[in-house]
A and B are shown apart, each in its own frame.
Chain A
Amino acid sequence: MLDIKIANDPLLLDYEDRVRVNAVNGPEWFSEIRSKGFRAYSEFGVPTIRDEEFKYFPLNGISDWKLGHPYGVTLTREALEATGVGKIDAVTLVFINGEFSPELSSYDALPEGVFVGTLAEGAEGFEQVVKDNLAQIATYQGKLGSTNDPRFVELNNALLSEGAFVYIQKNQTLERPIHVVFVNRAEEKRFTVAPRLLVVLEENAEAKLLESHIGLGGDYLSIPVAEVRLAASARFEHDRFQQETLSAYHISNTFVHQEGKSVYTSNNVNFGGKSARNDVNAYVNGEYAETLLNGANVATGDQVLDNHTRIDHALPNCQSFEIYKSILKDNGVGVFNGKIFVYEDAQKTDAKQTNQAILLSPTATMNTKPQLEIFADDVKCTHGATIGQLRDDAMFYLRARGVPKAQAEAILVYAFAAEVLDKVTIEEAKSALEAVLFEKLA
């Protein structure tokens, strides 16, 4: 039975060939992660809209794709710099179709106690740290409820090859931002690419990172997985910018494990993709930790932008604050599913979730679903969802000051999303994202 499924799965067609190439990168023990992932994914196969977690995310478009190996594409520095975020001054790692590009990366002269490099390099220098975390954080095991869908995490594991690794040791702060860029370009062949990022911050460490997914052409499927471990009192800003091509599929999974007093901030910006899906899962395993999940989405044309968040409050006295915004034009479809689990022990949890959408055309759609499961009795959990048009009072105010209607609309739409971009504290990234947003709305 399994064999038939595998034989028919477009995402596994060239699996053996790919593993031969992938096995060149990284230590031998990566193969265990690959085979485990392969077995787990094979049991599921490509999801359909009958799968609850993919209800609004049709993938039938990829069923007849032959997804070949993506390697071998090169990119000039000029082409990289021409992208919206290509010039940001940062410790930079660049991957082209998943393949590491040393020429376009710059990650030397790092301070003591800070490692930024490839997974393979990391596994040489810090084998135990990588072993303890890679494919260990990205799991639902031991967590409440079973409604999440791990299949693209497993498929990424099955295709494990190159990736980025950030490791900040105890009490170290990396002042310079880190930029991990995954550039994708499909030429004649369509492909699946499995970007990978692992971030480990030890006690009281601090860093800021921008994870960019940039499409430069063609049809492809990108299934990134990011894993983040924050030890006690660590602080991490994780900005994420997704601008795949408008014919690409993007299905990302971010898993965060937080210990006490740590602060995780995710600013998740989605403008690209034919269909893009992002899952952000934070498991909070310590007291007095903070989790801030922010999202800005702009869907135009026939784009589908689907965001699922999940926060597991396992221990008491933690705060989480979530705000996801969507602007939907044309036939754009937005989806938001926000899960918050408050475990029996997690008294005094304070969780606030907000989802707002603006529909700029009668054919745009928003599907929103807060999902709170609370097993403790002394907690504060709120959620709110609004779907609407632009505020009349603000429109009139702008027009009464002389701003023509169309321009006033553009300003208000921009401002709606800019409120989320404002939370990005990597200044150059913020201005770059604002410029891309401006262009996207024009």
Chain B
Amino acid sequence: MLEITNLHARVEEKEILKGINLTVRPGEVHAIMGPNGSGKSTLASILAGKNDYEVTEGSVEFNAKDLLELDPEERAGEGLFLAFQYPVEIPGVTNTYFLRSALNAIRKYRGDSELSPTEFMKHIKSKAAMMELDSTMLSRSVNEGFSGGEKKRNEIFQMAVLEPTLCVLDETDSGLDIDALKIVSNGVNTLRGPERGVLVITHYQRLLNYIVPDFVHVLMGGRIVKSGGRELALELEEKGYGFIEEEIAAKA
């Protein structure tokens, strides 16, 4: 469903991604790990359509469409969802209004009819319960005054409501205590299924104890330098990113 080929990107003059290749098929969970500054979040932002980056080479196909040609809202319509590393506060817009606008826009994009207010409320209440979110939060402004953990839970809640086919989680585990981490992971696991791909971007192995990946990729210096199964994440946890640097150096 997602096919990234030789992706190069830069910010101003600085080249950050230097040739990424990655294929995600429906039903697969991929983890991208890497040290700070390796380009993980840049990759997530480019997939979602943030225009702070310039793609200089390569391509990204999503559902056989050229993803890079689509506006952010079209990508969401196609089924892509990015759980933000730093969710944005929007004072004056309630969570309910925000989600109804989003869900109905996505439905419209797909040629489905809008949900009635009753259907919509039923839908989001069941998802809120799944994420163990207090229902008063629905009438609060988007992320305004939320704690770090609440914001991350809200991201996964939105994901559950919008039911995307490709979920990209950008450092969703950062700033979470163990209880919140379990709730968030549980939410993601509920969404796992044969039709859905998941891309988990993280610095630490910890999250992968709960969201068990099929594939693990190590991103360093703007390239995927090593790929493997779940055991690679455990190895990284044990040895740190240094051992891969040594491996690369040895090969060179």
Contact = CB atoms under 8 A, between A and B. Distances in A.
Interface of A: 393-394, 396-405, 407-408, 411-412, 414-419, 422
Interface stretch (B81-89, B111-119, B221-229): B81-89
Contacts of A399: 49, 71-73, 76
B88 A394 contact: yes
Contacts of B50: 396, 400
Contact of A415 (B82, B88, B93, B158): B93
Contact of B72 (A394, A400, A418, A422): A400
Given A396-B50, A397-B87, A411-B101, A403 B73 contact: yes
A68 B25 CA distance: 77
Interface stretch (B53-61, B102-110, B201-209): B102-110
B98 interface: yes
B162 interface: yes
A358 to B, nearest CB: 12
A433 to B, nearest CB: 13
B197 interface: no
Nearest to B50: A396
Interface residues of B, number: 29
B91 interface: yes
A402 B87 contact: no
> Which of B75, B77, B92 gathers the greatest number of chain A CB atoms within 10 Å?
B92
Contacts of A394: 88, 90
B76 A411 contact: no
Contact of B92 (A398, A400, A405, A416): A416
Of A397, A411, A422, most buried by chain B (CB within 10 Å of CB) is A397
Contact of A405 (B48, B71, B84, B102): B71
Contacts of A402: 73, 76-77, 102-103, 105-106, 109, 162
A202 B48 CA distance: 59
B101 A400 contact: no
B101 A422 contact: no
Contacts of A397: 84, 87-88, 90
12 contacts: A397-B84, A398-B101, A399-B72, A400-B72, A400-B73, A400-B82, A401-B102, A402-B102, A412-B93, A415-B91, A415-B141, A419-B91
Which label, helix, strand, loop or mixed, suits the secondary structure of the B interface?
Answer: helix
Contact of A407 (B71, B101, B162): B101
B208 to A, nearest CB: 24
Contacts of A412: 90, 93
A44 B174 CA distance: 66
Contact of B76 (A400, A407, A418, A419): A400
A415 B105 contact: no
A393 B85 CA distance: 13
Interface string B94-138: 000111011101100100000000000000000000000000000
B105 A404 contact: yes
Sorted nearest first, the 10 A-B pairs with minimum C-beta distance are A415-B92, A402-B76, A401-B102, A399-B72, A402-B106, A397-B88, A419-B92, A418-B92, A402-B105, A415-B93
A168 to B, nearest CB: 32
Given A393-B88, A399-B76, A415-B92, 16 more contacts: A394-B90, A396-B50, A396-B72, A397-B87, A399-B71, A400-B50, A400-B75, A402-B109, A403-B101, A408-B73, A411-B93, A415-B90, A415-B93, A415-B141, A418-B92, A422-B92
A414 B82 CA distance: 25
B113 to A, nearest CB: 16
A388 B29 CA distance: 42
A25 B178 CA distance: 74
Nearest to B103: A402
Contacts of A411: 93, 97-98, 101
A401 B98 contact: yes
A255 B184 CA distance: 54
A22 to B, nearest CB: 44
Contacts of A401: 76, 98-99, 102, 158, 162
Contacts of A418: 92
B3 to A, nearest CB: 21
Contacts of B77: 402
A400 to B, nearest CB: 5
Contacts of B101: 398, 403, 407, 411
B246 to A, nearest CB: 38
Nearest to B99: A401
B215 to A, nearest CB: 25
Contacts of B98: 398, 401, 411
Contacts of A414: 92-93
Contacts of B93: 411-412, 414-415
A396 B46 CA distance: 12
A301 to B, nearest CB: 24
A401 B99 CA distance: 8
B73 to A, nearest CB: 5
A390 B93 CA distance: 14
B105 A407 contact: yes
Interface in B137-152: 141
A407 B90 CA distance: 15
Nearest to B75: A400
B102 A403 contact: yes
A402 B82 CA distance: 11
Nearest to B87: A397
Nearest to A418: B92
B43 to A, nearest CB: 15
B48 A400 contact: yes
